[in-house]
Amino acid sequence: MSRKFFTEEEMATLRQNPHVYSVSSTVVILTKAFKELFYAEYQQGAYPRAIFEKYGLTSELLGKSRLTGMAQHIKEEYAKYGSFHEGRRAAAKTNRTQAAPPTTEDEIKNIKHELDYLKQEVSFLKKVSSLKNTRK
């Protein structure tokens, strides 16, 4: 599968489209407003390709596989989050940084896991060491 790289002219054309949030040589990121428009029209029965073309995002410019992927990402974003985000979804990153500090139970569980792992390592090293000693 070959990836279609955008030329400078294609990137300039995409940047002029009000529904494009940002564009690079390989990636097109859509605005929240477009994602909402797309999803609403898709729910009413419109075909994804027709929706993209209606808003100036043609398959000749983007490629058929990219249009299919973009439509799939929009549907998955709505299914997972129930809404859309401007640009790329940063929720996964912010959720990790805003996680609650580990509880005492979590710390004990992690320490037990580490202890079991270290016991396995020591056991393995003993076996390897005994094999070296028996071969002499």
Which of the four pLDDT bands, split at 50, 70 and 90, describes residue 99? Answer: low
Q: Where are the domains of the chain?
A: 8-95, 100-134
b/e string for 7-28 if b means 16 or more Cβ within 10 A? eeebbebbeebebbbebeeeeb
| pLDDT at 3 (0 to 100) | 64
CA distances from 69 to 32, 48, 94, 96, 98 (A): 17, 10, 25, 26, 30
Q: What angle do CA 108, 112, 115 make, to 5 degrees?
A: 140
| pLDDT at 95 (0 to 100) | 46
Whole-prediction pTM: 0.60
For 92, left (φ over 0), alpha (ψ -120 to 50), or beta? alpha
Q: Is 30 helix (H, G, I), strand (E, B) or coil?
A: strand
